[in-house]
Structure 1
Amino acid sequence: MSVLAMESVVAAVLGACVGSFLGLAAWRLPRGESLTWPASHCPACGRTLAWRENLPLLGWLWLRGRCRTCSVPIPLRDWLTEGLTAGLWVAVVLLTTPATSGFAGVLRLLAGWLLISGLLLLLLLDLDGFWLPEPLCRWGLIVGLTTTALLAVATGTSPVTPLVHHSLAAALALLGFDLVGMLGTWCLGVPALGGGDGKLAAVLGAWLGGKGVMLALALAVFSGGLFGLLARLGGSLKPRQPFPFGPFLATAGGLVWLTPEPLQRQLLALLLPWLNTVGLALGN
Structure 2
Amino acid sequence: MPVVVALLGACVGSFLNVVAWRLPREESIVLPPSHCHRCGSRLRWFENVPLLGWLLLRGRCGHCGAPISCRYPLVELLSAGLWVAALLAQPSAMGSQPQPWLLVAAGWLLLSWLLPLVLIDLDRLWLPEPLCRIGLLIGLAVTAVIGFQQGAEIGRELLFHHLVAAGVGLVGFETVSALAHKAIGRPALGLGDAKLAALLGAWLGLTGLGITVILAVFAGAVLGSIGRLSGLLGKHQPFPFGPFLAAGGAAVWLLGNDLWLAVLGLVW
Once superposed, what is the RMSD of the aligned Cα atoms?
1.9
Q: 1:131·1:196 contact (CA, 8 Å) conserved in 2?
A: yes
Partner Cα separation in structure 1 for residue 108 and residue 119 of structure 2:
17
Partner Cα separation in structure 2 for residue 260 and residue 201 of structure 1:
17
Partner Cα separation in structure 2 for residue 43 and residue 232 of structure 1:
33
Which residue of 158, 170, 178 maps to 1:162?
Answer: 158
Which residue of 104, 114, 133 maps to 1:119?
Answer: 114
Alignment of 1:37 onto 2:31 = yes
After TM superposition, give the deviation of residue 95 of structure 1 in Å: 2.9
Which residue of 9, 15, 22 maps to 1:21?
Answer: 15
Partner Cα separation in structure 2 for residue 267 and residue 138 of structure 1:
31
Alignment of 1:256 onto 2:229 = no
Q: What code does the residue aligned with 1:47 have?
A: S
Between 1:153-162 and 1:221-230, the stretch displaced more is: 153-162
Which residue of 62, 81, 95 maps to 1:87?
Answer: 81
Q: 2:98·2:147 contact (CA, 8 Å) conserved in 1?
A: no
Which residue of 210, 216, 222 maps to 2:218?
Answer: 222
Q: 2:148·2:156 contact (CA, 8 Å) conserved in 1?
A: no
Between 1:83-92 and 1:258-267, the stretch displaced more is: 258-267
Which residue of 159, 174, 188 maps to 1:178?
Answer: 174
After TM superposition, give the deviation of residue 260 of structure 1 in Å: 3.3
Matching of residues 1-284 of structure 1 within 5 Å: 7-95=1-89, 104-156=99-151, 158=153, 159-267=155-263, 269-270=265-266
Partner Cα separation in structure 1 for residue 253 and residue 164 of structure 2:
18
Q: What code does the residue aligned with 1:199 have?
A: K
Q: 2:59·2:67 contact (CA, 8 Å) conserved in 1?
A: yes
Q: 2:127·2:192 contact (CA, 8 Å) conserved in 1?
A: yes
Partner Cα separation in structure 1 for residue 20 and residue 254 of structure 2:
24
Q: 1:40·1:49 contact (CA, 8 Å) conserved in 2?
A: yes
Q: 2:89·2:104 contact (CA, 8 Å) conserved in 1?
A: no
Q: 2:171·2:194 contact (CA, 8 Å) conserved in 1?
A: yes
SS of aligned partner of 2:88: helix
Partner Cα separation in structure 2 for residue 67 and residue 123 of structure 1:
25
Q: 2:51·2:73 contact (CA, 8 Å) conserved in 1?
A: yes
Partner Cα separation in structure 1 for residue 136 and residue 98 of structure 2:
23
Given the superposition, is the C-alpha separation of residues 39 and 65 from structure 1 closer, same or farther in structure 2, using an over 3 Å criterion?
Answer: same
Partner Cα separation in structure 1 for residue 241 and residue 257 of structure 2:
25
After TM superposition, give the deviation of residue 17 of structure 1 in Å: 0.4
Structure 2: runs of 5 or more not aligned: none
Q: What code does the residue aligned with 2:56 have?
A: W
After TM superposition, give the deviation of residue 26 of structure 1 in Å: 0.6
SS of aligned partner of 1:95: coil
Partner Cα separation in structure 1 for residue 231 and residue 261 of structure 2:
37
Q: What TM-score results when the alignment is normalised by the length of structure 2?
A: 0.94
Q: What code does the residue aligned with 1:56 have?
A: P
Q: 2:88·2:254 contact (CA, 8 Å) conserved in 1?
A: no
After TM superposition, give the deviation of residue 270 of structure 1 in Å: 4.8
Structure 1: runs of 5 or more not aligned: 1-6, 274-284
* Partner deviation per Cα, 1:7-52 (whole Å, 9 max, x = no partner): 2112101100000000011111111111111111101111100000
Q: 2:181·2:187 contact (CA, 8 Å) conserved in 1?
A: yes
After TM superposition, give the deviation of residue 61 of structure 1 in Å: 0.7
Matched residues, percent identical?
A: 53
